[in-house]
Structure 1
Amino acid sequence: MKLPRLSLKSKIIFFMFEMVLASTIFFFYIIYRFGIGMLSAESIIRSPYLLLALIIVIMVIYFMMLISLVTKYIFVPIGEMKRAAGHIKAGNLNYPLTYQPDNEIGEFCEEFDKMRVRLRDTIMEQHELEKGRKRLIASITHDLRTPLTSIIGYVEALQDGIAKDQNTYEQYLGTIHEKAELLNHLIDDLSVYTKQELGEFTLNLERINSGRLLNHYFEHKTYEFKFSNIKLILRKPFIATYINVDPYRFTQMLDNLISNAKKYTRSQIVVETTVRNYRLFITISDDGTGIPQDYLQNLFDPFFMVNKKKDQREKGGSGLGLAIVKQLIEAHEGGIDVTSTIDQGSSFTINIPIDR
């Protein structure tokens, strides 16, 4: 029959017990063997065996005190860490270490507990990222299908000769162009989001005249509103100053803000520029239904929508547009603010440093 394995603590206690028992037997044997009836300094001096027995007793007492300290400051925290490791192994990362004396072992336990907390947070972050990826795939799949279906429908209509006059023909082409631009926006958003997750996102900064950049962008953008019932109002002249931006990513920010305003406005979108404290401010306003104040703090979170089901069904979009804008403008060392009034509309303002 195999004997159970003793722990280190049990072995030390068993060894100390044997020492105490052997020393006690030896001590009384010396007294009995040599007939020492009374302990005194003189009797101890005359009997070296008695002196040896007392030394052994003192050593036993010393070792008993030592084992008590070792148990308190080594075996107890090791036991705590063993229990904590068992909980971690079972998947319970919320089990805290309660041993925190001010010594090296206590510091080790504290670092062990920090490792547990970090592991728990990392796993939670991974779960959130995985949920985010699943939401992203579901949203992008839905959002890509909708404009693609529209493009296919209008192209088939043109092929079948439904557009009998030039005005209808141009209107169909404008709609196809708009849906293609929407697809391009979704792909750009997906690209930025995934690259930032992978840590591969970079900017190609250039020193550019802001007035020239904005005029060129809105010359192209104005065509999209040609057949729309929404009016694009540009407060010109745009301020012309030099800024360090990635032109492609900068226009992507404007695209997302214009696209967002277009979804929720009633009749018009207004674009204007100002300069304050050596920063260029670009404001895009709409006259839509507005955003409740309670939602403003979460407006730039990925996948956030004020009314998710309704927005996805009626407006389209994955909930990434404004989150991408915030990430891009912060990568340019800028910022973004939003103000909104119910039944009056919303204003989004991005700001970026001027290159002096």
Structure 2
Amino acid sequence: MKLTLRALALAGLACIGILLVWQFGTRPATRVDISQLNAIAKQVEQQWPTPTLTTPGAVFEGETPITSREVSWPSPLAAASDDAQLLPIVVDGDTVGVLAISADAGREPVLNAHLHSALRVATATIGILTLLAIAWVAVEYARVIRPFRRLEQFASDVAAGNLDAPLLAGTNTRFGAWQSSLDILRSELLEARANEDTAKLAHKQLIEQISHDIRTPIASIAANAELLELENLSSSQRERVHTIAAKAQQLAAFTHDLDPNLVKLRVDPVAIGSPQLPPMFRSTDVEVRVDPIPPCIVLGDPMRLQQVIDNIIENSVKYAGTPITVTSELEDDQLCIHIADTGLGVPAAERGTLLGRGVRGSNSTGVVGQGLGLYTSAHLMERMGGAMWLTAPDSQDAPSGFTVTLALTLADS
């Protein structure tokens, strides 16, 4: 656009220059036509002593005007002071008077030859400059505007994900190096996309294989647990077998999360009565005491809530290994469940970060883990319409115990 405006401005200046040269180069100059003046004088001599004039002027006999046309000179001197052309009137060899012709008579407009030549030279020069300007604009368009527009289109294609069309770099453009670099970038992005697709396919195949391989032993564990429940077992043994069977069923349900087509974990909140909550805290590793839960109905996904509780208890087993106490109370429109141990806990300064993905406390040295348990639990609680937070002693020097609070939203009655 700027080049076009420059070209138009240059062409306009060229036209103005031509008009100025034409104006000053064609100003009329004048010259005296001697033959015409002689013809007038001859006519006066032939008509003497009663001549008539066909052109502005006057005839004097001595100092007295005897005839005039469109002038009022009283004497030849007055005519001379008015730039008149003075010619003697000769009759029979004697000078009988004076012919005074107006300064404008006997003159004709002519073109100044010098300026005319200058006009031709200036016109030719301006024409050449105009052609050069047009040629320059055309070259700059080919070297700047067109490649730049190709770059704009290329950027749009890349933003839209079209990486198949190469960006051809011209050797005579101002963007040759840029175009080459951008095309290399396009090639790298295309290769990265191909690698990503390959990795996604391999990941999908791996997940499908793992899911298939896990289902078989889980089914075997569940079947053997059912057979053991038929045996003559003590109450404690039967409780443990029941726990094994429940966990096997839970693992079987979790294998659905290994579906590579799922974008995120499926959560289906339903109404859960408070009597259904205490059995979820069953554990075979530590003692869990569940105080009475206020009668209520909460919203939650039973499988996901069980997953949250298991993660919290597993964390307590790994880092505290003390008995766990579960208390609860109703607060506004929520049921708050507090799961507390009496271990060393964590410093208060770390409390706000432990729910982050991959974050582990300073007491995790030597303990196997990836920092995903609490993060996943908090995420699932949020998906169920609830919340989860941590409380720990404010004193970093004497921590004692750690509490996880689950807030479940009450169902509308």
Which residue matches 1:325?
377
Deviation at 1:86, TM superposition (A): 1.0
Deviation at 1:203, TM superposition (A): 1.7
What are the within-5 Å matches in structure 2 for residues 1-356 of structure 1? 42-43=116-117, 45-46=119-120, 51=123, 54-65=126-137, 67-68=139-140, 71-72=143-144, 74-75=146-147, 78=151, 80-90=178-188, 167=234, 170-192=235-257, 194=259, 197-199=262-264, 201-206=266-271, 208=272, 213-218=273-278, 220-221=279-280, 224=282, 230-236=286-292, 238-276=293-331, 278-291=333-346, 294=350, 297=353, 299=355, 301=357, 307=364, 310-311=367-368, 321-340=373-392, 344-355=400-411
Preserved CA contact (<8 Å) 1:290 1:340 = yes
* Bigger Cα Rg: 2
Deviation at 1:269, TM superposition (A): 1.2
- The structure-2 alpha-carbon separation of the partners of 1:70 and 1:349, relative to structure 1 and needing over 3 Å to count, comes to farther
Q: Secondary structure of the equivalent of 2:368?
A: helix
Q: Secondary structure of the equivalent of 1:61?
A: helix
CA RMSD of aligned residues (A): 5.3
Q: Secondary structure of the equivalent of 1:230?
A: coil
Q: Which amino acid in the other structure matches residue 308 of structure 2?
A: M
- The structure-2 alpha-carbon separation of the partners of 1:196 and 1:332, relative to structure 1 and needing over 3 Å to count, comes to farther
Q: Secondary structure of the equivalent of 1:271?
A: strand
Q: Which amino acid in the other structure matches residue 176 of structure 1?
A: V
Q: Which has the higher strand share?
A: 2
- Equivalent-residue separation in structure 2 for 1:285 and 1:139 (angstroms): 34
- The structure-2 alpha-carbon separation of the partners of 1:123 and 1:289, relative to structure 1 and needing over 3 Å to count, comes to farther
Structure 1 range deviating more: 325-334 or 59-68: 59-68
- The structure-2 alpha-carbon separation of the partners of 1:330 and 1:214, relative to structure 1 and needing over 3 Å to count, comes to same
- The structure-2 alpha-carbon separation of the partners of 1:171 and 1:311, relative to structure 1 and needing over 3 Å to count, comes to farther
Offset from partner CA, 1:249-275 (integer Å, 9 cap, x none): 334433443444345443321112234
Relative CO higher for 1 or 2, CA cutoff 8 Å, sep ≥ 6?
Answer: 1
Unaligned runs of 5+ in 2: 1-113, 152-168, 170-177
- The structure-2 alpha-carbon separation of the partners of 1:336 and 1:355, relative to structure 1 and needing over 3 Å to count, comes to same
Deviation at 1:70, TM superposition (A): 5.8
Between the two proteins, what is the percent identity of the paired residues?
Answer: 15
Preserved CA contact (<8 Å) 1:185 1:256 = no
Offset from partner CA, 1:81-117 (integer Å, 9 cap, x none): 4422213414599xxxxxxxxxxxxxxxxxxxxxxxx
- The structure-2 alpha-carbon separation of the partners of 1:351 and 1:204, relative to structure 1 and needing over 3 Å to count, comes to closer
Q: Which amino acid in the other structure matches residue 246 of structure 1?
A: D
Q: Secondary structure of the equivalent of 1:203?
A: coil
Deviation at 1:309, TM superposition (A): 7.0
Preserved CA contact (<8 Å) 1:340 1:347 = yes
TM-score of the pair, normalised by structure 2: 0.46
- The structure-2 alpha-carbon separation of the partners of 1:288 and 1:325, relative to structure 1 and needing over 3 Å to count, comes to same
Deviation at 1:324, TM superposition (A): 3.6
- Equivalent-residue separation in structure 2 for 1:278 and 1:150 (angstroms): 38
Offset from partner CA, 1:52-98 (integer Å, 9 cap, x none): 563243132244146446644553683624422213414599xxxxx
Aligned residues: 267
Deviation at 1:329, TM superposition (A): 1.3
Deviation at 1:247, TM superposition (A): 3.9
Preserved CA contact (<8 Å) 1:286 1:345 = yes
Preserved CA contact (<8 Å) 1:150 1:176 = no
Deviation at 1:127, TM superposition (A): 6.6
Q: Secondary structure of the equivalent of 2:266?
A: coil
TM-score of the pair, normalised by structure 1: 0.52
- The structure-2 alpha-carbon separation of the partners of 1:346 and 1:325, relative to structure 1 and needing over 3 Å to count, comes to same
- Equivalent-residue separation in structure 2 for 1:133 and 1:65 (angstroms): 59
- Equivalent-residue separation in structure 2 for 1:255 and 1:85 (angstroms): 52
Q: Which has the higher helix share?
A: 1
Deviation at 1:278, TM superposition (A): 3.4
